Structure 1
Amino acid sequence: MVWHESWTRGTTMRRRVALACMAVATLVAIVCVERAAAQSNVTGQWSVLPYTMPINPIHVGLMRTGKILIVSGTQNDPTVTTNSAAVYDPNTGVIDVQEVPWDLFCNGLSWMPDGRALIAGGTLQYPVNGHGWGGLKTTTVFDPATEKFIQVQDMARGRWYPSIVGLADGRMATFSGWLEQGGTNNAVEIYTNPNGWSQEYYAPFTPELYPWLHLLPDGRVFMSGANVGSSIFNPSTNTWQTGVATMKYSRDRIYGSSVLLPLSAADNWRPRVMIMGGDNPSTATAEIIDLSQPSPAWRFTNPMSGPRIQMDAVILPTGKILALGGSQLDKTASTATLAADLFDPATETWTPAGTMNMPRLYHSVALLLPDGTVWSAGGNPDWGNWENRMEIYRPAYLFNAGGGPATRPTISAAPSVIGYGGSFQVSTPNAASIASVALIRNGANTHAFDMDQRMISLSFTKGAGTLTITAPPNANIAPPGHYMLFIVDANGGMPTVPSAPTAGSSRAARRPPARRPRPAT
């Protein structure tokens, strides 16, 4: 049985705004509480939303509709007897809560090529009444078109805290997780839609829970952590290569984060991965590995401004990485790192990105939204106690030199489907000032790691009101699925509101709604 309940915020104000994606709509203006800070056009601006989240936002994903899927299960509370999920529309503030038959707390979630979410595992039991944690072998699919869940084929064994990664051929691989009666599941299983799961392919090592998995441009999957030792899984042979590299940091980076840095046509799709934070007490250090090298090795880069465990890391349309949240001591708000940082992969330097209004600890989440802002929510230091306030980060590129709203370039026409190896055109009156074009895959975040985010920086030429863009060469670079297409101007790095193409699919994507009106000042 599935039931729906709508949660709406109180005071609203309506106005009409022009959308960048060929439409006009009436949206609800967001009246936010803003932190007094340095110049917004330098550090950006953090704002608290005037309404709260009714369930614990433990697992989140940006749908192709522009709404956010929230999966909570029993919400990290053994006294809760219902399993909850929700659909949140950041444009209207409406949060539709529903009940599902399975406890999807601590699952693995990733977007399939058709835009539906594949959800692996969840919680079979809490560590109460003489039991330990136990993982479900249940597999769930969520469809943004119906906004409902269905159960599909079970996995071979249970998984609690697993990861999922999309492969170049459209299949989905899951790895790790806690078994039904405890112990780590060290087998990879691969899901083919609609046929179900493969046999198990065992790793010759025991991974950390929620391992950081990244699809590389050669089709293999790199596990960057949180184990000290990095490994590679080859989906063609279903085998592991261990001993690929060893972190410079001497301890496992538990609940740090990992990002595949933007893949760029100008750099021949050179794959680099950055890991940062983690451990308890946590570290501010960060490391980068260049996997195009014959013998890749981790090396330290510049550290963040403060230590972070239970942090988040979000790729922005400019290609910079926003590091936010976390604390020095796990689940300890008094040691929270409130200052956010912005990493530039070109210079490997960090700059300030404003100050958050509240700690973001265990089970906090963050996602890039279609309007170029970042949504931050959650924080769950102990059972039954979680942060229900949400924040929006508006990066510096959304402001002009005077601190007011910057003028945004616009997309007047763009394709809904992008194939591989060719080119496509985007119509924009701002063609002459465009500095970069990128596809960013819709995110799916939980436990300090986004299993889906990926940025592909594309080459292009400028014409009169038109950009001719070279598409990704293959599915290893851009695995099939739904993306946001951003064009960014040279004047302050202001991105458009994106169009929403599907890469490598014949099924057209639905455009997300346009950006929310900016918070009132």
Structure 2
Amino acid sequence: MSSLILALVLTLQCMGLVLAQDALGTWSIVLGNAGISTMHAAVTRFDTCIMLDRTNIGPTGRMLENGRCRDQPQEAILKHDCYAHSVMYRPDLKTVRSLFIFTDTWCSSGQFFSDGTLWQTGGDAEGARRIRTFTPCDASGDCDWVETTTNLTVRRWYATNHLLPEGNRQIVIGGSGQNSYEFVPKRTPTEGVFPLQFLADNCCQSLYPFVFLLPNGELFIFTNMNAIRLNYITNTVTKTYPTLPDNPRNYPSAGSGVLLPLMWQDGFTKAEILICGGAAVNASTKNQVNRLASKSCGRINPLADAPVWFMETMPIERVMGDMVLLPSGDVLIINGARNGFSGWEKATNAVLFPVSYAPYNKVGTRFTSLQNSTIPRMYHSTANLLADSKVLCAGSNTHQFYTYTGAYPTELRLDVFSPPYTRSSFTNIRPGFIKWPAVISYNQVFSVQFGVKALTGTIGVMQHSAPFATHSFSQGQRQLQLRTGPAVLVSGTVYTVDVTAAPNAIVAPPAYYLFFLVQRGKPGTGKWIQQTL
């Protein structure tokens, strides 16, 4: 807890006023041993969470099931390996099942396709050009990873993926030593890679670039301290943006970034991007690893006539933080450290408390420090939004191999942060789905039925993508605020509301999305709906 919040709590206690225990959110450990330290994570339409770590890490905390082992002659550590390096977590039962991954996924990338299949690309060593798929299943299934026979054109280590409006194609951008991008699957049989000089110009702080699909159909690509707008259809850079001040933001500096909610009130034409934190300048150089990280944030409208960065300041410095779009419309900044940069034993002073950022509050009142966790989450950790509107945190391995001693041991526990909107005093105003469509099309007006004990305001609908979270950036993270009509009483505490779907595939590429009903900033439990062409 920050010193300011702590001082406020003590003052209230001295005045005889007790701050509700859950007013700043609560934490709970949901699983004592997931078996792996999660480096990559993605939540599926069945509400399961797929987690991965490196395969070249040696023994993990969990064996593969049913006597399975992996014989991989190109593996660096265990060529005959009976340990799990991927698991599927079920939040409803708080259990994990081992998954079989054959090639090294170290610092790889990923994204869901429109049919809900997760494509996972690249990695290290024998996995650097590999494409793996995972088709999610319900609780009764035995879905697992599949290694495809198709490869990337070049090796991609620390690349970024983004689903394109077609719904059946992704762009894969950058990676260590790769100043280019390519498409999966290819648009033509002979298609290769496309050079991107911008990545070369921002060398060495350009890994895991921040990539966002804008409402005009172009891609905003940020790396190091700079950004461009790319027309990926014509393969041309259409805009170069001012430099974001203060410090590098991409891996290994490990700031984070989000595309703020796209809103129907703006006709889904206004896009704003928020980028926060990261390591200090030259923090990765010798004898500089304890340098204090950045607490600055930059916010920009990339489609404005003359876009500029508007600077704000977080309550505390943070490197390796994760940014999660909450169904309340706020941004949660969670995990990370106060000093150092990304790497094994390269950071200290874990930041235990998350911060929320309210994008449309008055300047100076947008940040709120929230409740402390008891688990440091630093290098190789993740944060993902769940259907119950809580945030699942996993991983943290600041060592080359699994190490259970020292100040920051390898972390196998899973914990969940429950934002303040989940507190019991809000139960009566949190709307819950009763009936909803399984599939919607663009511009469709569809009806949902919901229950709420106290209808006190307008019912909003928030549409969330299913991102691939890794290394302080959630690839493909996207949120839309949809247009809704007035709530109509059915009977008792049951109502219906009409909702207008997103206008096109540029605003919301075809995919499975998690939809939340929200009243006065308080969401209920989300439901998955497939957005189709």
Residue of structure 2 in register with 1:345 after alignment: 359
- Indicate whether 1:297 and 2:297 are aligned: no
Residue of structure 2 in register with 1:70 after alignment: 51
Residue of structure 2 in register with 1:472 after alignment: 502
Residue of structure 1 in register with 2:469 after alignment: 445
Give the Cα–Cα distance (whole angstroms) in 2 for the partners of residues 459 and 224 of structure 1. Answer: 30
Give the Cα–Cα distance (whole angstroms) in 1 for the partners of residues 335 and 230 of structure 2. Answer: 30
Task: Tell me how far 1:380 sits from its aligned partner.
Answer: 1.2
Choose which of 174, 185, 197 in structure 2 pairs with 1:192: 185
Amino acid at match of 1:88: Y
Amino acid at match of 1:437: V
Amino acid at match of 2:319: I
SS at match of 2:114: coil
Contact 2:56-2:77 within 8 A present in 1 as well: no
Amino acid at match of 1:263: L
1:9-57 superposed Cα distances (whole Å, 9 cap, x missing partner): xxxxxxxxxxxxxxxxxxxxxxxxxxxx963442111122352220121
Among the aligned pairs, what percent are the same residue?
Answer: 26
RMSD: 2.2
Contact 2:220-2:302 within 8 A present in 1 as well: no
TM-score (norm 2): 0.80
Residue of structure 1 in register with 2:145 after alignment: 149
Task: Tell me how far 1:440 sits from its aligned partner.
Answer: 0.7
Residue of structure 1 in register with 2:436 after alignment: 414
Give the Cα–Cα distance (whole angstroms) in 1 for the partners of residues 78 and 40 of structure 2. Answer: 17
Residue of structure 1 in register with 2:4 after alignment: none
**CA 1:494–1:197: 2 relative to 1, 3 Å:** farther
Give the Cα–Cα distance (whole angstroms) in 1 for the partners of residues 396 and 428 of structure 2. Answer: 32
Give the Cα–Cα distance (whole angstroms) in 2 for the partners of residues 421 and 199 of structure 1. Answer: 35
Q: Which has the higher strand share?
A: 1
Give the Cα–Cα distance (whole angstroms) in 1 for the partners of residues 509 and 271 of structure 2. Answer: 15
Choose which of 290, 297, 302 in structure 2 pairs with 1:286: 297
**CA 1:412–1:252: 2 relative to 1, 3 Å:** closer
After the TM superposition, which residues 315-330 of structure 1 pair with which residues of structure 2 at under 5 Å, given as runs? 315-327=325-337, 328-330=339-341
Give the Cα–Cα distance (whole angstroms) in 1 for the partners of residues 36 and 56 of structure 2. Answer: 7
SS at match of 2:151: coil
Residue of structure 2 in register with 1:105 after alignment: 106
Residue of structure 2 in register with 1:79 after alignment: 77
Give the Cα–Cα distance (whole angstroms) in 2 for the partners of residues 173 and 472 of structure 1. Answer: 22
Choose which of 198, 201, 222 in structure 2 pairs with 1:224: 222
For structure 2, the residue ranges without an aligned partner over 5 or more in a row are 1-17, 59-75, 284-290, 404-409, 490-494
SS at match of 2:129: coil
Amino acid at match of 2:380: H
Give the Cα–Cα distance (whole angstroms) in 1 for the partners of residues 56 and 95 of structure 2. Answer: 20
Choose which of 56, 65, 90 in structure 1 pairs with 2:37: 56
For structure 1, the residue ranges without an aligned partner over 5 or more in a row are 1-36, 126-134, 179-183, 506-521
Task: Tell me how far 1:156 sits from its aligned partner.
Answer: 1.0
Amino acid at match of 1:136: A
Give the Cα–Cα distance (whole angstroms) in 2 for the partners of residues 44 and 266 of structure 1. Answer: 30
Task: Tell me how far 1:199 sits from its aligned partner.
Answer: 2.0
Task: Tell me how far 1:59 sits from its aligned partner.
Answer: 0.7
Query: How many pairs were matched up?
Result: 449
Amino acid at match of 1:294: D
After the TM superposition, which residues 32-47 of structure 1 pair with which residues of structure 2 at under 5 Å, given as runs? 39-47=20-28
Residue of structure 1 in register with 2:68 after alignment: none
After the TM superposition, which residues 174-253 of structure 1 pair with which residues of structure 2 at under 5 Å, given as runs? 174-178=172-176, 184-192=177-185, 198-205=191-198, 206=200, 208-225=206-223, 227-241=224-238, 243-253=240-250
Give the Cα–Cα distance (whole angstroms) in 1 for the partners of residues 31 and 271 of structure 2. Answer: 40
1:38-88 superposed Cα distances (whole Å, 9 cap, x missing partner): 634421111223522201211110011100011223264553544721111
Contact 2:107-2:124 within 8 A present in 1 as well: yes
Residue of structure 2 in register with 1:93 after alignment: 94
SS at match of 1:266: helix
Residue of structure 2 in register with 1:373 after alignment: 390
Task: Tell me how far 1:196 sits from its aligned partner.
Answer: 7.7
SS at match of 2:528: coil
Amino acid at match of 2:27: W
Contact 2:107-2:157 within 8 A present in 1 as well: yes
Residue of structure 2 in register with 1:136 after alignment: 128
Amino acid at match of 1:441: S
Give the Cα–Cα distance (whole angstroms) in 2 for the partners of residues 483 and 157 of structure 1. Answer: 31
Give the Cα–Cα distance (whole angstroms) in 2 for the partners of residues 275 and 80 of structure 1. Answer: 39
- Indicate whether 1:495 and 2:523 are aligned: yes
TM-score (norm 1): 0.81
Amino acid at match of 2:503: P
Task: Tell me how far 1:197 sits from its aligned partner.
Answer: 8.6
**CA 1:486–1:405: 2 relative to 1, 3 Å:** closer
Give the Cα–Cα distance (whole angstroms) in 1 for the partners of residues 53 and 123 of structure 2. Answer: 10
| Segment of structure 1 superposing worse, 445-454 or 421-430 | 421-430
Residue of structure 2 in register with 1:9 after alignment: none
Contact 2:378-2:396 within 8 A present in 1 as well: yes
- Indicate whether 1:335 and 2:342 are aligned: no
| Segment of structure 1 superposing worse, 44-53 or 186-195 | 186-195
Give the Cα–Cα distance (whole angstroms) in 2 for the partners of residues 369 and 197 of structure 1. Answer: 40
Task: Tell me how far 1:389 sits from its aligned partner.
Answer: 1.7
Residue of structure 1 in register with 2:157 after alignment: 160
Task: Tell me how far 1:150 sits from its aligned partner.
Answer: 1.9
**CA 1:97–1:196: 2 relative to 1, 3 Å:** farther
**CA 1:382–1:406: 2 relative to 1, 3 Å:** farther
Contact 2:109-2:468 within 8 A present in 1 as well: no
1:211-251 superposed Cα distances (whole Å, 9 cap, x missing partner): 111111111111133x1110122122122346223112244
Residue of structure 2 in register with 1:275 after alignment: 275
Residue of structure 2 in register with 1:389 after alignment: 413
Choose which of 376, 392, 413 in structure 2 pairs with 1:359: 376
